[in-house]
Amino acid sequence: MTIISTLIFGLITLFSFSFFGLKLFKIQKNILLGKDFPLNDQPLRRWKNVFLLALGQKKMFKNPLVAIFHLFIYIGFIVINIELLEIIVDGLLGTHRIFAPYLGSFYPYLINGFEILAALVLIACIVFFARRNIVRLKRFLSSDLTGWPKKDATLILLIEMVLMTLFLVMNAADSTTHFIISSILKPLCKGLSAPQLNSIEHTAWWLHILGIYAFMNYLPYSKHLHIILAFPNAFFASLLPKGQMHNMESIQNEVLYAMQPALAPSNASATEKFGAKDVMDLSWKNLMDAYSCTECGRCSAACPANSTGKLLSPRKIMMSTRDRLEEVGKNIDKNKSFVEDGKSLLHDYIRVEELRACTTCNACVEECPVSISPLDIIIELRRSLIMEESNAPSEWNGMFSNIENNFAPWKFAPDDRDAWTTQNQ
């Protein structure tokens, strides 16, 4: 490489990593707009979740064949990127395969391993591309996955296929090497002169690294951000038993004031707001969940409400939360602090009908491969609906009234409860 090309490469590398880091910083700022919520207990269980769910992809193996193909892509993404280190060093120093002399006989084994993974990634991407665009699985055809989110997944697969192909072409055009997979392509280079081969190798090298830089900076704008956030999301996942909800301490205090004043805390401050109406009212973990969503649709496919044709789609809940959070983040960046825009997550992004359809069965939480909980967001929004807006169906209001007056959902006086239970034994 000439001095000019080395300088250009250095500037592109600096710009790519700076832009990528800046976007990740903005995402972190958006996540921290959420309320503080402690999730640092039982560190050993949390690290176990990281290894089983994020690294081991435990939940993916409910469908072993799909899990294996996904594992090819996942391992390929992690391991093949080690090869980037040599490419970047070569680009910055103007060298060619700088690690080869230092690694000696181990170097061919290393690159062969990369090539085998690249071939497996290529095959897996073709399979997943076919599932989305030829087989057309039902969960990829849902009405909540239209427009750009649907194109995003296909674009990512195409980019990965191109990048793996360029890596193999680069190795095949290198006349000084002979690796397992790229050697299959060497007959295509037969008859080409050394300058021509050199030109092909350099072109593939440039396209490969520029493609990786482009992919890296596209990542934070796509559903594939979960490649990064799956790890912290698994660590901070709730360790409560499925179905156990977080009680509202302020409500518990009010009940204590009414029924057992001696047990109520004397220094408890009144709650300004119940539940969540907008993204700032949710916890930071809820907002991290929104950015971690893979849009795979397993949650919606498992949702009984969605399966019966109701409006609820847990995937759409997460996508809407992320969209609103991005809008709020841009508002803050523009105005230095949030300026009321007349919108909110509740009503403008997520409708009442969606929230009321939820049965709180936890199927969406159980199915999510990256430990996301759409249910937590649904519950907080419903709390706001009922406790802030008194917005509930008449049947629910009747039940609430019975609980308030009779301490039970039914219209029986407390004194008659024993008689009612005896009668129905």
**Does residue 281 contact residue 385 with C-beta atoms inside 8 Å?**
no
**In the predicted model, is pLDDT for residue 17 greater than 90?**
yes
Q: Looking at residue 135, what DSSP letter applies?
A: I
Q: What is the DSSP string of 196-209?
A: HHHHHHHHHHHHHH
**Does residue 360 contact residue 379 with C-beta atoms inside 8 Å?**
yes
d(CA 169, CA 181): 10
Least confident residue range of 18-32, 201-215, 408-422: 408-422
**In the predicted model, is pLDDT for residue 420 greater than 80?**
no
**Does residue 387 contact residue 274 with C-beta atoms inside 8 Å?**
yes
d(CA 345, CA 116): 46
- Mean per-residue pLDDT, 220-247: 88
pLDDT of residue 203: 94
Instruction: Supply angle C-alpha 192, 195, 198, rounded to 5.
Output: 95
Of 25, 47, 82, the closest CA to residue 231 belongs to 47
Of 164, 169, 206, the closest CA to residue 189 belongs to 169
pLDDT of residue 240: 86
**Does residue 257 contact residue 319 with C-beta atoms inside 8 Å?**
no
- Mean per-residue pLDDT, 368-373: 91
Q: How many CB atoms lie within 10 A of CB 243?
A: 10
If you average pLDDT over every residue of the chain, what do you get? Answer: 88
pTM of the model: 0.86
d(CA 252, CA 410): 22
pLDDT of residue 402: 85
List domains and CATH numbers for the chain: 3-31+63-228 (1.20.950), 249-258+271-417 (1.10.1060)
- What does the pLDDT look like over 165-209, one tens digit per residue? 999 999 999 877 788 899 888 888 888 888 898 899 999 999 999
Q: What is the DSSP string of 367-418?
A: H-TT---HHHHHHHHHHHHHHTT----HHHHHHHHHHHHHSSSSS--GGGHH
Residue 181 — φ and ψ, nearest 5°? -80, -45
pLDDT of residue 268: 63
- What does the pLDDT look like over 107-127, one tens digit per residue? 999 999 999 999 999 999 999
Least confident residue range of 79-83, 123-127, 300-304, 323-327: 79-83
Q: Is the dihedral of CA 72, 75, 79, 80 positive or negative?
A: positive
The CB-side HSE value for 321 (13 A sphere, CA atoms) comes to 37
Let me know how many helices (H) and strands (E) the chain has, helices first. 19, 0
- Mean per-residue pLDDT, 400-415: 80
pLDDT of residue 425: 59
pLDDT of residue 340: 93
- Mean per-residue pLDDT, 86-92: 91
- Buried (b) or exposed (e) across 397-425, using 16+ Cβ within 10 A? eebeeeeeebeeeeebeeeeeeeeeeeee
Give the torsion through C-alpha atoms of 405, 407, 412, 414, to 10 deg: -100
* pLDDT band, very low/low/confident/very high, at 271 (cuts 50, 70, 90): low
E strands of 173-305, at which residues?
A: none
